[in-house]
A and B are shown apart, each in its own frame.
Chain A
Amino acid sequence: MSPSTASPTAPHKPGAAGDSAGASANISNFKLDNGLEVVVIPDARTPVVTHMIWYKNGSADDPIGKSGIAHFLEHLMFKGTENHPQGEFSDLVAELGGQENAFTSYDYTAYFQRIGKEHLETLMAFEADRMTSLLLTDEVVTPERDVVLEERRMRTDNDPSAQLDEAVQAALFAHHPYGTPIIGWQHEIESLNREDALAYYRRFYTPENAILIVAGDVEAQEVLRLARETYGKIPARAEPPRRNRTKEPPHRAHRLVSLSDEKVEQPAHERVFLVPSYKTAAPGEAEALETLAHMLGGGATSALYETLVVEEKCAVGAGAYYLGSAVDDTRLWVYATPAPDVTLEKLDRSIDDVIRRFIEQPIDEDHLRRAKTRLVADAIYAQDSQASLARWYGEALATGLTIEDVAAWPERMEAVTAADVTAAARKWLDKRRAVTGFLLPADEDA
């Protein structure tokens, strides 16, 4: 919900869920009797606090035929409760000088406010109320469904490159729900109703399934006390809900997906590999993939950029990205924008050549060192923003990692060797596990 809701898909720095060892020592972690997990991240620099509640369910937990329900419910969570009618919570947040929003991703849904620290208790009381007392009527559900359809038009239906991304994801995941867009398919969004939303709400919005994250100028013990008085009053529901997800079968065939549209004037190339996440990878493997993606396509010193853009001049842009935060096997993207008069087929071959170098040739140790310096430093830069830290911890915990995993991330990145990067490239940059996407002008079918 919100003026700038949810961009579900926007991938942000994945493993950068980091913090230096020094600062993470100050992070507190509790569990309430009802199963709610609490994380407190100190930041004494400003009188502002970031309050987030994360639920360990996202679009990949949408029931079959109800795609988009996690995201639709996120919107509906702003429609009032038995105790506080529609608008009361938002009015109060605004009146107290706070800002609020929410977002839905594949594996989690989160709600947050940023506000003067003296108002923390009030927000906790309202957010705890919203965990159990949501009140929905068709009068508010129906127009909000139209809002979601407008959101889908804005993000996807108006934009050929977003439509290609959707098709590439759908092709990459033959069976796993990561292949379904977070916002849902239009025909299924159109059929979502109040009962669907409430059923989903009752299943997942429980203290056992939630993580409270508070970052700011607050004392951990005080946050714990407030959490007990608010969220702590919610009765335990018993076991945390299960994520019932279909598993992806082995991949054996490379797939090419192309989209031609008269609105496309600048062609584009992307390739997405199915790879393990921080959660599913063998020890050290996700860190190696993170490093590999950075060396391959992290900025202007990466192999793809230097080779395709600076040397061969067959592309004007190129990069790579590893979406490491995921409950199940995830994606590593490689993308490039061709120079004028360079075909996507030619660009595709040049990309193959760069990838092959990582597989066949020794890793450049200088480059590896630069990549690790940059990645590890991200953990220090992250300390400048309480909101980013809160988000990274929430994302890690909501995808099955622990506070300790996050705290030790810089150390594990330091430990990545050239042999690890080579092994990751050999094992995972296998075209049979990939989908290539071509974005083309109208008259140029692939």
Chain B
Amino acid sequence: MTAHAPVVSIASRAEHVQRIVTPGGITAWLVESYAVPLVALEFSLRGGAAQDPADKPGLATLLAGLLDEGAGPYDARGFHRAIDELAIHMGFGADRDSISGHLQTLSKNTDKAFALFKLALLDAHLAETDVARVRSQLAAELKRDANEPDAMAAKAFREAAFPGHAYGRPVRGDLSSIETLSRPDLLALRERLFAKKDLKIAVVGAIDAKTLSDHLDATFGALATENDLAEVASVALAGVGARHVAPLDIPQTTIRFGRPGVTKRDPDYFAAVVANHILGGGTFTARLFREVREKRGMAYSVYSQLNEYDRCPMLIGAAATKNERAGEALRVIEEEVRRFAEEGPTEEELDKAKKYLIGSYALRFDTSTKIASQLVHLQMDGFEPSYLDERNGKIAAVGMEDCKRAAKKLFGDGGLLVAMVGRPEGV
């Protein structure tokens, strides 16, 4: 095995990234490229659903959903039509720890696209009638998910993993909470979250640094300097070893499992990435895929992945198998986790996993929107553009002992928090 030789050698990615600091103090990463006449922008503001007041879950989601529903001189219909006139793609969303937005435009419409984006960001009306409409759409989504197995499993898992913590509350709220969400609530949350502090921006496409700098100041320059975030306590995933079943009359049981993870700042993080890839990563070679799907035909989809909220790193995974085999599937998964913690990987598995992780990194950078998204996430995680060139070396440097150590840290005694939806047998 050639631990330090990347399978695919690529010229520096970092050197294509221009770091822009505007006169107005806005920072952004730009990849300038004229191959396609498009400009893509992505931004993220720290503070998503975790900043919802405890009795008002869903507020950040509702706020994000209202930004393009009427702004500046336009009512909701006028704003959507203005976007359509120029064939602009624009959207906003709220996650656990952030509110994000994206803009993509034909380069010939860049000026107008930024102007509309600014209106959404700074001058959305959040009018009562629009609030009522978007809230009713959110309610319909929640009703659709009320008996949807994946959504139910996520809920059961979240509530068991984070009792009493913001992470235990639903990002999109629940049917009773969203009825109470009002315009004053939305104004207050926007006031707290929308600021230059913790604002991360990436732009990819047919635009030069000077032009972009002017647009960024015009678009984001009027934001307040400081945000006002409530402290979110660090938390460890609770309930490891417990099994929760939400009964539902369906033929197949959905299984969600997890345990505490490893943060991106942990010295063993890359070793943990390698270990997880071998256990349940998204290739046909992963142990869970081979044992649960290929050998036993027990599930169509089975995987594990490292997930990280701002205040909680996790390992989570999922599978779905007919009720009659749910207990058996769960035992196989638990056994694989435990065995990996005890024995670690084989040399061959370690070598192949590293080669995959190194070689496939390039696949994350093949469209402008994917590149912009990668660059925003790197900034959110506090990395510099140099990470783009260093990352594969860190994977390559993971040795057998590193991987075994990380596996012990990540998989521990193999205990899992499990949430199931269906009529599982044998559990």
Contacts and interface: CB of A to CB of B under 8 A. Distances in A.
A225 interface: no
A439 B358 CA distance: 47
Given A95-B352, A384-B367, A154 B358 contact: no
B366 A317 contact: no
B157 to A, nearest CB: 17
A96 B294 CA distance: 22
Contacts of B360: 97-99
Nearest to B88: A377
Given A150-B322, A265-B147, 15 more contacts: A3-B284, A87-B285, A91-B285, A97-B359, A97-B361, A98-B363, A146-B296, A146-B298, A266-B146, A300-B76, A373-B84, A380-B38, A381-B104, A384-B367, A387-B367
B81 A370 contact: yes
Question: Which label, helix, strand, loop or mixed, suits the secondary structure of the B interface?
Answer: mixed
A145 interface: yes
14 contacts: A5-B300, A46-B366, A93-B283, A94-B285, A99-B283, A114-B366, A150-B298, A158-B149, A158-B250, A301-B84, A310-B76, A340-B139, A380-B37, A386-B367
A411 interface: no
A118 interface: yes
Nearest to A378: B87
A428 to B, nearest CB: 24
Interface in A151-167: 151, 153-154, 157-159, 161
Given A94-B283, A150-B252, A266-B144, A48 B80 contact: no
Contacts, number: 198
A263 interface: yes
A380 B40 CA distance: 13
A94 B356 contact: yes
A89 B136 CA distance: 49
Contacts of B231: none
A386 B144 CA distance: 34
B146 A97 contact: no
Given A98-B359, A157-B252, A317-B140, A116 B77 contact: no
Interface residues of B, number: 72
A226 interface: no
A47 interface: yes
B314 interface: no
B283 A90 contact: yes
B368 interface: yes
A252 interface: no
A46 to B, nearest CB: 5
A309 interface: yes
A147 interface: yes
B296 A116 contact: no
B218 interface: no
Interface of A: 1-5, 44-48, 78, 87, 90-91, 93-100, 114-116, 118, 142-151, 153-154, 157-159, 161, 262-266, 299-301, 306, 309-310, 313, 316-317, 337, 339-340, 370, 373-374, 376-378, 380-381, 383-387
Nearest to B204: A384
Contacts of A376: 87
Contacts of B362: 46-48, 97, 116
B118 to A, nearest CB: 20
A150 B320 contact: yes
Q: Which of A142, A146, A150, A153 has the most CB of B within 10 A?
A: A150
Nearest to A157: B251
Contacts of B355: 94-97
A301 to B, nearest CB: 5
Interface in B337-391: 352, 355-363, 365-369
Interface in B68-87: 76-77, 80-81, 84-87
A145 B293 CA distance: 11
Given A3-B289, A146-B298, A153 B136 contact: no
Contacts of B146: 265-266
Contacts of B285: 87, 90-91, 94
